[in-house]
Amino acid sequence: MNVTVTDGQAVEAFDVVDLIRTKRDGGELATAEIDWLIEAYTRRYVADEQMSALAMAILIRGMSRREIRDMTLAMIASGERMDFSGLGKRTVDKHSTGGVGDKITLPLMPLVASFGVAVPQLSGRGLGHTGGTLDKLESIPGWRADLTNEQMFAQLRDVGGVICAAGSGLAPADKRLYALRDITGTVEAIPLIASSIMSKKIAEGTEALVLDVKFGSGAFMTDFDKAEELARTMVELGTDAGVATSALLTDMNVPLGLAIGNANEVRESVEVLSGGGPADIVELTVALAREMLALVGQPDADVEAALADGRAMDSWRAAIFAQGGDPDAPLPVARETHTVTADRSGVLARQDALPFGIAAWRLGAGRARQQDPVLHAAGIDLHAKPGDEVVEGQPLFTLSADDDSRFERALAAVEGAWEIAPAGTVVESGPLVRQRIG
């Protein structure tokens, strides 16, 4: 117990100010102190301003591996834990740290599920320039994100995969702390990022987990070394918790694929499931599928064949139907478009991810506040990628929105975000998957 009663008065096990001072001065918090802190914050004894001070101290001073593990376990203990052992299938999940045009979950879940494993993909909504998987899928008429635990289990048993919203019972302490970090300048604290992500994934109950940790201009962690540190920290947390965990460090300097938005990203995902789609989307989907299947005992699975022969598409259609959606229904189309063309001939040498993500957000594809709606038809379609030859007057990208008044601010966001070099210029690019950890 974290609270005792003496002479009728409640007495807390610790004083939060002492914990703030300890971390401020570079000390380590004991396991019992962290357990009390998270429990007391969940029941609102520890005030937001006190947790804000501690979060800033953690950002500046860091935490040891043991402290991060204790923080993660304490956040898991604040809510329920799911158990998939009764499914009769091995379970594997994927988490991405987010980026521009990152719709990989959509083709990946049905692809992996087509190999007879269960994929419980608990996803979220977008905030700012990074899109939300649930927002994309809600472009499909009738599709619903909110499922009960019983409905999720039934779909995993019958279909093999599910993409849905996480229940409120998973790591409720993290939900409070996540919102607090967003408004106190402590989002970048690696111990808090790692414990936030991994508390939910471990509480979810998956047997194995693959992390897609992105770096570059359109990523949450722009610096490669910081992204690598985050990946290693999360892999350690998963391993310590008994979850088979690995991470791929992937490049997010250029938007993924050709579609940035919601409905248009669903269209692109269906193209991949039909055996086509942009090369980078296919490459990353295949790489993550191989990694996921290897962790659950299928290292030789032929994932390309499952895309080509329709098995992955069958899983997609079954999952969409199971959640009330119509996979054959027309997707939303914007009322207004604006196309930007090349002002000279040459080679598209640069296409910065972040400005295009911000532009899509300003068109209505994203939200500034969690309660804001998204416009499913809004977004950007790219017509060329770095390394492509272009001619003067050729379309480079098209903005879509329901209100043409949004175009001015979107165009301002992408001003200077691309560059056309002289014909014959060789555009160097590193590998999409830079490193594997785990």
- The catalytic site residues sit at 95, 174, 181, 196, 200
361: DSSP letter: I
SS3 per residue for 153-197 = HHHHHHCCEEEEECCCCCCHHHHHHHHHHHCCCCCCCHHHHHHHH
Dist. CA 88–CA 118, nearest whole Å: 9
Q: Report the C-alpha gap between 308 and 314 in whole angstroms.
A: 12
Residue 99 identity (one-letter amino acid): G
For residues 435 and 213, the answer to whether their CB atoms sit within 8 Å is no
168: number of CA atoms within 13 Å, CB side?
0
Do 89 and 156 meet the contact criterion of CB atoms below 8 Å apart? yes
Could you tell me which residues are beta bridge partners of residue 93?
Answer: 209
Beta bridge partners of 249: 213, 435
What is the Cα–Cα distance from 161 to 105, expressed in whole angstroms? 11
Q: At what angle do helices 31-42 and 172-182 cross, to 10 degrees?
A: 80
Alpha-carbon span 43 to 3, nearest angstrom: 12
Fill in the amino acid letter for 222.
T
Structure tokens at 399: 């903005």
Q: Would you say 81 and 200 are in contact if contact means Cβ atoms under 8 Å apart?
A: no
- Percent helix, strand, coil in the chain, to 5, is 45, 20, 40
Of 270, 16, 321, 311, nearest to 144 (Cα)? 321
